[in-house]
Amino acid sequence: MVLNCNEHKKIITILKREPNEIEEQLFTALWSEHCSYKSSKIWLQRLYSKNKFVLQGPGENAGAIDIGNDDVLVFKIESHNHPSQIAPYHGAATGVGGILRDIFTMGAKPIALMNILYFGNTEKPYMRNLINEVASGIGAYSNSFGVPNIGGKVIFDNCYNQNILVNVFAAGVTKREKLIRAKTTSQKFSIFYLGAKTGRDGIGGAATASASFTTKSNIPSNSSQIANPFFGRCLFEAFMEMQAKQCIQAATDMGAAGIAGAVSELGAKNTLGIDLYLDNIPILQKNLTAKELLLAETQERLLLVVYDNCENTATAIAKKWGLAFAKIGTTKKKPYLCVYYKKQQIANVPIYALTTQSPTYKLAAKKATYAKKQTHNLVSNNITNDILNLLSNFNKASKNWFYEQFDSYIQGNTIIHPGSDAALIKLEHSEKAIAFSTHANPRYCSADPRLGAMHLVAQCWRNISAIGCKALAVTNNLNFADPNQPEIMGQFISTIKGLNKACKSLNLPIVSGNVSFYNQTDKKTIKPSPTLVAVGLATNWQQTSANKKSNPGDYIFLLGKHGRHLDCSLYKAMQEINFLGKPPKVLLKLERKHGIFVQSLIKTGLANSCLSLGSGGLIAALARFAISEKLGLDIHLPVVKDPLPILFAEDQARYIFSAKKDNVTAIMTKAKTKKIKLHTLGQVKGNKFNIAKICNIDIKELELAYYNPRKFEQWH
């Protein structure tokens, strides 16, 4: 990634001279897409990002929301796509390390991790190796650091054959008065380096992440960062100890563009200039050049602003944890970044020119193409086989084979583990619990980017509602190909519009996130792959579905209409039809109404187990219900000439739930009062998955299809 001619001319205009080599490198890194968001920021500014609960929106290390009683939830999702394609183990591991630093640098203790991963054809040995390496990297860091990995999503599609995507989410909690930002009220302060010593790894990482691959790409071996979870944990402990002793005024992570990026961000946010002394930087290897010192993306490093009377205390804490600690810069009123090396000034540039005044592009965009509704012409020769094949499909089957490699029990607060609609973490010393749900659907988003993006929001809303929690806010990771291609930019803009409409309607502000462009090799592009993670709250975890189980004799209900929309469904995709058609409509008012109703049923104890409907339709939800509860179902659906839409359609705003016989009258009365459409489907009964006149399958056969270990055991 290099500066284009117009950007170079702009630098000359800003400096009123030619930049020297170091200054050129600073602009190249900080004006890269990865750092500056130059092709996306005019659109990102339109996203719904504020309400009364938001304490920190986009622009800091992570977003933060008020969850009551001065408790604050800090969370964010980030991508590590290019590094994970180049070096999957360290790419995935440093993705985990980086997102954890974003959380604890804001003064929050990390309580949860999730991974949203996109892989290609699993029949290819190299792809199996990538999957194993990514899993190993995630596990090595998260398990060693000591944060529960509570789930996520694993998606398979041939469009990721040459560009896998690794998106990592983390969340933490702190008290309102302990929230730390990069901005401080001081007008003059010193800047301190804390963490591992700087080496040569990660040179040019930001630039590499801002360019497409080609089959002839000559990527430097040191462009990928090296993970060190031991140092990461020590850094966390040292930081939290400094926070407890009230040493820290402000802090920021050293991520993309290394020290140069972190120092520039710190200066710009505090409207101050900075004198940076490279000779003071703790180094791992001798003879590091000025460029390497500035731009290396060595992991496990932070920039701190320490109170003047706390320098000795901070030094002692750093030494205790075996970390490097050094004063590497001071602030000044004149807003320039001046870099000194070997007692010489080697760079002198306006700090805003590197950051807030970086180029902004409104790239040409071709209106995204939307799939048209197709005529339903699907025929089934054997519905039982169709059901079993659906459950064993890579994009529907259990991902236990993946998530069992990570510790979801550590810290002892996980209530709902991977495999459910949403995960649930109990807050220490509190009855409150936090729900986490993630969703991605490149099948929908490629057919209709705007509608597909709305589906992501609606599905996360349903998933959190289905465990009895209220969704509060979201973070997103927007993965796309080359934005200079008008059709790709059209997809991106349509996605922004869809997210904005759905988030506004459901009052879910987007408080943090990430954009990852250039996910393509040669002309082979990924599908539009936006990822969403939503967080929710239960004021009392015992009023969620966590401790509610179904029992024989319980009635099974469908909340919402019977399905009609087979276009773009997983069932239709499994038929290998070229034109899948249009995703179903998103009914946002109905989503809100049904979600609130489900939450109330669970909170008041009227409903037991509950699942949201999504990919795979009603049949997938019923089968998952039977498998998770290890109970048979006796279901009676409307007798129709063509049962496929009722079974497999993916119409929205729908749930299934179970309830005791004694609660049926109360539920029906409540539904009638709220004008909610409910269907009684049958009962929990026996040990068979029985749908009258359609199928009668042993639960063990369902389990075998869903967990299907035979597909994965040969990989390990």
Tokens of 25: 């490198």
CA dihedral 573, 579, 580, 581 (to 10 degrees): 180
| Host H or E run for residue 497 | helix 486-505
Using CA of residue 637, residue 640, residue 645, residue 651, what is the dihedral sign? negative
Q: Which residues are 474's β-sheet partners?
A: 510, 534
| Residue 509 to residue 53: CA distance in whole angstroms | 9
Residues 6+ apart with CB under 8 A from 635: 556, 622, 681, 682, 690, 691, 692
Looking at the chain, the number of H-run helices and the number of E-run strands are: 24, 28
Q: What is the arrangement of strands in the sheet containing 695-698, beginning at the earlier edge strand?
A: 610-612, 655-659, 555-559, 678-684, 633-635, 688-691, 695-698
For tokens 């055991």, name the residue. Answer: 713
| C-alpha to C-alpha distance for 223 and 23, rounded to whole angstroms | 20
Length of the chain: 716
Phi-psi region of 202 (alpha: psi -120 to 50; beta: other; left: phi over 0): left
Question: Is 34 a catalytic site residue?
Answer: yes
Backbone region of residue 501 per phi and psi (left: phi > 0; alpha: psi in -120 to 50; beta: other values): alpha
In angstroms, the first-to-last Cα distance of the chain is: 37
Looking at 8, 34, 90, 455, which residue is catalytic? Answer: 34
Give Cα 35 to chain centroid, integer Å: 18
Cβ neighbours of residue 73 closer than 8 Å, sequence gap 6 or more: 64, 65, 67, 108, 171, 172, 173, 434, 472, 535
Secondary-structure percent of the chain, ordered helix, strand, coil, rounded to 5: 40, 25, 40
Calpha distance 235→75 (Å, rounded): 19
User: Token pair of 289, please?
Assistant: 């050049």
CA distance 448 to 453: 8
Helix axes 383-392, 699-707, angle to 10 degrees: 40
The string of DSSP letters for 602-623 reads HHTTS---EEE--TTHHHHHHH
Please name the helix (run of DSSP H) or strand (run of DSSP E) that holds residue 632, with its range, or none: none
Closest to 386 (Cα-Cα) out of 565, 575, 569: 575
Q: Which residue among 8, 80, 417, 716 is the active-site one?
A: 80
Alpha helices in 562-616 (DSSP H): 570-574, 588-603
Gap between the Cα atoms of 9 and 17, Å rounded: 10
The sign of the dihedral angle between the CA atoms of 519, 520, 521, 525 is: positive
Pairing type for strands 695-698 and 688-691 reads antiparallel
The span from the CA of 589 to the CA of 191, in Å, is 50
Query: Other CB atoms closer than 10 Å to residue 701's CB: what's the count?
Result: 15
Kindly state the tokens that stand for 81.
């796509």
Phi, psi of 569 (to 5 degrees): -75, 160
How far lies 511's CA from each of 52, 60, 61, 239, 318, in Å? Answer: 12, 10, 11, 24, 32
Rg (C-alpha) for the chain, rounded Å, is: 26
Q: Please, what's the largest Cα pairwise distance for the chain?
A: 85
Place of tokens 């979600």: 595
Q: Which residues are catalytically annotated?
A: 34, 80
